[in-house]
Amino acid sequence: MKILIIGDIVGKGGRKAVLSQIPKIKKQYNCEFIIANGENIANGSGLAYKCTRELSETVDVITTGDHIWDQKKFEYEINEFNNVIRPANLSNMQPGKGWDVFTAENGTKIAVINLLGKVFVRDSAYCPFETVEKILNSEKIIGVKNIFVDFHAEATSEKIAMGYFLDGKVTAMVGTHTHVQTADAKILPQQTAYITDLGMVGAEYSVLGRNVEAVVQKFRSGMPMRMPVEESGIRLDAVVVKFDNESGKASSITSLSFMTEI
């Protein structure tokens, strides 16, 4: 079985690129389930009802990260989407869920877990290692062989450590957040697929999806500044993971990175 996992989708251009490219990728790679990180789909920061509903028509599960609550009202709107998950190691007082078990087109049960890193990340979160260990020992997930983790974290060391911690316990662990696809996609010793960062679906000529000139000026001046999202010239970064849905063991992970017509 194959699953497509898409990097951070940035703004309207990123959404349009995903919606136009998913049918082609599904057909080319014979993917039966799709996960995408959507924490930047609404104007480049956060999620909103209309954007989330649009993306949900094509994507099976939407993971998020530290920008989960950047858009007003989404703390209420999130409960209208069964396929949206926020980091599991945020406070239990926050709305939404941090993981769930979903069903693929062929009937395969797939668990998706979302975690937030602690190193260099602004938001306070519980230990992601302790959190994921508790989830993997919970009654609901026992017996589910196919488990995918989106670890939304800044530090490469933290993500690499999590990969080895989860090796043999999950089907795949993918990193998100930095918007730059890393060149280390691999199968770990105990057959867990891994990549430090998926990358993004955002403008090729940009700084992490935002206007180059504005970001450079912000770095130079140190002053607050509006940094518009670039909505054209979109590159799509993702991976395709092939795994045995009976054992949950991964056999290959293929990185995708290409320019779209958006």
Q: Just list the catalytic residues.
A: 67
- What's the CA gap between 147 and 77, in Å, rounded? 26
For residues 135-160, one letter each, b for 16 or more C-beta atoms within 10 angstroms of the residue's C-beta and e for the rest, the string is bbeeeebeebbbbbbbbbbbbeebbb
- What's the CA gap between 55 and 45, in Å, rounded? 15
- What's the CA gap between 48 and 61, in Å, rounded? 15
Residues 51/42, Cβ–Cβ less than 8 Å? yes
* Bridge partners for 241 per DSSP: 3, 253
Residue 40 DSSP one-character state? B
- What's the CA gap between 172 and 204, in Å, rounded? 27
